[in-house]
Homo-oligomer: A and B are copies of this chain.
Amino acid sequence: MPKFVKRSSKKAGSSPGTLIYVGKEKTHTSLMHLFSYSKSEIIEKVGKSIGTLKHYIDSGNVNWININAIHESSVIEAIGEMFHIHPLALEDIMNTAQRPKMEDYDDYIFLVVKMITFEDLKNELEIEQISIVLGDYYLLAFQEKEGDVFDPIRDRLRLGKGKILERKADYLAYALLDAVVDNYFTALEKIGEKIELLEDRILNDPKPETLEVIHTLKRELVYLRKSVWPLREIISGLQRSESKIIDQSTSVYLRDLYDHTIQAIDTIETYRDIISGMLDTYLTAVSNRMNEVMKVLTIIATIFIPLTFIAGVYGMNFHGMPELSWPWAYPLGFWSGIVIIGGFLVLYFKHKKWL
């Protein structure tokens, strides 16, 4: 899971708008993936530099360019120049610690969202920043790594299915955001499963490790929350936007998306509630267990202490202790006394429900 603050140390002191990649070191080759489509044609191209794709962009088609080269400032700069993107937006694209947001730059709308996937292998959440520059007839999507969450959309495009072909870039943006939000639910479902597993374990076998799992879950939800909450504003911002880029007919889809986001937020809040309840339950379970142990131990001691006293009494060396010489005093008198007293105490504690 990423650190909390990444922005500062590499950047403090540099001029605003300076392009500095803030994220893990990357070496893989950067690729650009273009879809240029209209009702009548679909073109798909993969290139290493923006130059090779230039040809398709001004064709009147809708152009979806997917870029995973956000660690190379030269590439980003070139794209920025070609599409007249503001330096501050470029800076945000490269800063993978950027908070999700929506900014209207008149000619284009700039979006930053967080893709959250659950990595089954590592058994933890993976967060990836996706920046979208949405123009009238183009959409630039910047990803940290070659993702596969948009593959279903690509497949639909390739098959010529769905409404995307009939519409402008704003509907494509909606489709991408919808895919992102759907993924939140997949992540939430995984967390839900973890929570259910945990609930059983807490009551039956509370251990310090359980506590750690609870804290991890709690923190994962904090991350999810930080990613999803701003999305609400982003989508309602798109909905209320007076930008000519967002078609009125897309509004009903955005409303639906907004609704899904609210549902994700609801689920996150519910999980947070459940987890803090679990923390309480865990602490109660642990302390109950400990109390039970201490109680049983104390009871054992309490039963033996009077018995030891009696044994002590008959170990005394007083001269005139008539009991000592009574016949059967030891085998019968003493031991039956011990059994009676011990038994009485056990029964008494049982009666009091202490045992």
Contact = CB atoms under 8 A, between A and B. Distances in A.
A99 B17 CA distance: 30
A248 interface: no
A182 interface: yes
Contacts of A99: 259, 262-263, 266
Contacts of A1: none
A264 B345 CA distance: 53
Task: Count copies of this chain in the complex.
Answer: 5
Contacts of A88: 252-253, 256
A197 interface: no
Interface residues of A, number: 112
Interface in A97-141: 97-99, 101, 103, 105
Contacts of A321: 317, 330-331
Given A156-B15, A270-B4, A316 B327 contact: no
Interface of A: 3-5, 7-9, 11-17, 86, 88, 92, 97-99, 101, 103, 105, 151-152, 156, 161-163, 174-175, 178-179, 182-186, 188-189, 192, 203, 208, 211-212, 215, 218-219, 222, 226, 252-253, 255-256, 259-260, 262-263, 266-267, 270-271, 273-274, 277, 279-281, 283-284, 286-288, 290-291, 293-295, 297-302, 304-309, 311-325, 327-331, 334, 352, 354
